């Protein structure tokens, strides 16, 4: 229980600081520290992301940065894709999915390094001034 | 540019394509999909990065909810763990955003990249 709270808090701080989504932290945290299977970790991460996205969107919306109609269109029209992605994940083995996720983490790490080295302030871009 | 004009069919199609791709990515990996949505909004609809990030977060509310609900049908969602992570994460994001105004985030980004790489190795070796 404490482990989950620590994962959430740490993941949230990093997400707020660096503009990296929570999921890329929640999933490995759930697998490594709480021993969840890759499938359960991904599913649980998705639900944990919802409140984070709600608060994040609300904060940005106060500054008028959210194009609401576009967001709703994209969101509603994502249903087929989201269902397909979940079906695909469940059709794959846990080991394969875990390795694919590890590859995703390497890409996110490379993006972070790239952004950090490009300009000292570039790593702050996504959430700047909000 | 006409295709991307407000309310035009071309624009709707692009938003639909971005939503579908982001949904696939989110459902497959259990992440929000912002890393797919933000660059696509910038490249295909001329968004600036901040508006793209903000709009992507709002879209992710729907995307992650749909994907989580579908995962629920497979019996994969640990609701208690999700609450124990999601609620402190909200506090964490607010704290992180506040710290961001005061800290030089460059070295933090590099350290975090190392943590990500180490975790990726840990996952593969499991």
Q: Does B8 reach chain A within 8 Å, measured CB to CB?
A: no
Cβ-based contacts under 8 A for chains A and B:
392
Q: Write the DSSP symbol of residue A92.
A: S
B68 and B20 in one domain? yes
- The mean pLDDT value of chain A amounts to 89
Under-70 pLDDT residues of chain A: 119-130
Q: Write the DSSP symbol of residue B101.
A: T
B56 and B83 in one domain? no
Coil, helix or strand at residue B42: helix
**Local confidence band at B75 (pLDDT 50, 70, 90 cut-offs):** very high
Q: Tell me, what's the ipTM?
A: 0.90
Residue B4: per-residue pLDDT: 65
Residue A68 near residue B54 (C-beta atoms within 8 A): no
- Mean pLDDT value of segment B81-100: 92
Residue A92: per-residue pLDDT: 98
Which structural domain range is residue B2 located in? 1-77
- End residue of a domain, out of B55, B77, B99: B77
Rounded to the nearest angstrom, the minimum Cα separation between B3 and chain A is 15
B2 and B33 in one domain? yes
Residue A120: per-residue pLDDT: 56
B118 and B66 in one domain? no
B31 and B67 in one domain? yes
Rounded to the nearest angstrom, the minimum Cα separation between B10 and chain A is 13
- Per residue in A58-79, is it b (16+ CB within 10 Å) or e — as a string? ebbbeeebbbeebbbbbbebbb
- Mean pLDDT value of segment B81-109: 89
Rounded to the nearest angstrom, the minimum Cα separation between B115 and chain A is 9
Query: How many domains is chain B partitioned into structurally?
Result: 2
B28, B53, B78 ranked by CB distance to A19: nearest: B53
| Confidence (pTM) | 0.90
């Amino acid at each position: 229980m404490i482990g989950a709270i620590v994962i959430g808090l740490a993941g949230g701080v990093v997400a707020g600081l660096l503009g990296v989504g929570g999921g890329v932290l929640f999933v490995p945290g759930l697998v490594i520290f709480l021993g969840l299977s890759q499938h359960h970790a991904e599913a649980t991460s998705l639900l944990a992301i919802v409140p984070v996205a709600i608060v994040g969107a609300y904060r940005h919306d106060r500054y008028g940065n959210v194009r609401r109609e576009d967001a709703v269109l994209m969101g509603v029209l994502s249903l087929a894709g989201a269902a397909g992605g979940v079906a695909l994940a469940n059709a794959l083995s846990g080991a394969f999915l875990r390795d694919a996720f590890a590859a995703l983490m390497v890409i996110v790490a490379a993006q972070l390094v790239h952004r950090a080295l490009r300009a000292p302030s570039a790593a702050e871009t996504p959430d700047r001034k909000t | 540019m006409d295709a991307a004009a407000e309310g035009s069919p071309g624009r709707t199609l692009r938003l639909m394509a971005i939503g579908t791709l982001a949904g696939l990515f989110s459902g497959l990996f259990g992440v929000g999909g912002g890393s797919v949505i933000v660059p696509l909004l910038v490249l295909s609809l001329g968004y600036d990065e901040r508006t793209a990030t903000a709009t992507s977060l709002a879209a992710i509310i729907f995307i992650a909810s749909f994907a989580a609900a579908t995962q629920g049908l497979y019996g994969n969602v640990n609701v208690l763990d999700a609450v124990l992570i999601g609620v402190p994460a909200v506090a964490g994001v607010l704290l992180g955003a506040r710290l961001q105004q005061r800290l030089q985030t460059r070295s933090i980004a590099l350290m975090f990249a190392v943590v990500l790489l180490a975790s990726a190795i840990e996952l593969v070796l499991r």
